[in-house]
Structure 1
Amino acid sequence: MDSTDILRFRATIGINNINPYVLVSARDAQRLKQGWRRPMPVRVRVNGVPEAWWRINMMPLGDGSFYLYLHAEVRKAAASQVGDAVDVELAFDDGYRSGPVHPMPPEFSAALESNPVARQAWEALIPSLQKEILRYFQQVKSAEAKARHLERAMYVLSGGQARFMARSWSGGQVS
Structure 2
Amino acid sequence: MSLLRFRTTIEINNINPYVLVAAAQATQLRPGWRKPMPVCVRIKGEPDTTCRINMMPVGDGSFYLYLNGEARKASNTKVGDTVSLGIEFDEAYQSGPVNPMPPWFSEALEQNPHAMQAWNDLIPSLKKEFLRYFARLKSPEAQARNAQQALYVLSGNRGRFLARSWHEGRVQEGR
Tell whether the structures are fold-level matches, with TM greater than 0.5: yes
1:77-131 C-alpha deviation (Å, 9 max, x unpaired) = 2222333333211012233221212221111111112211111111222222111
Alignment partners' CA distance in 1, 2:8 and 2:142: 38
Equivalent in the alignment of 2:16: 19
Bigger mean CA offset, 162-171 vs 86-95: 86-95
Aligned residue pairs total 172
Match of 1:121, SS state, is: helix
Picking from 31, 35, 39, the partner of 2:32 is 35
Equivalent in the alignment of 1:156: 153
Match of 1:37, SS state, is: coil
Alignment partners' CA distance in 2, 1:119 and 1:78: 42
Equivalent in the alignment of 1:122: 119
Residue 72 (structure 1) shift: 2.3
Q: What amino acid does structure 1 have at the position aligned with 2:51?
A: W
Q: What amino acid does structure 1 have at the position aligned with 2:56?
A: M
Task: Give the TM-score taking structure 1 as reference length.
Answer: 0.88
Task: Give the TM-score taking structure 2 as reference length.
Answer: 0.88
Alignment partners' CA distance in 2, 1:79 and 1:15: 16
Bigger mean CA offset, 6-15 vs 159-168: 6-15
Q: What amino acid does structure 1 have at the position aligned with 2:85?
A: V
Which 5+ residue runs of structure 2 have no aligned equivalent? none
CA RMSD of aligned residues (A): 1.8
Residue 18 (structure 1) shift: 4.0
Q: What amino acid does structure 2 have at the position aligned with 1:85?
A: T
Which 5+ residue runs of structure 1 have no aligned equivalent? none
**Percent sequence identity over matched residues?**
62
Picking from 57, 68, 78, the partner of 1:81 is 78
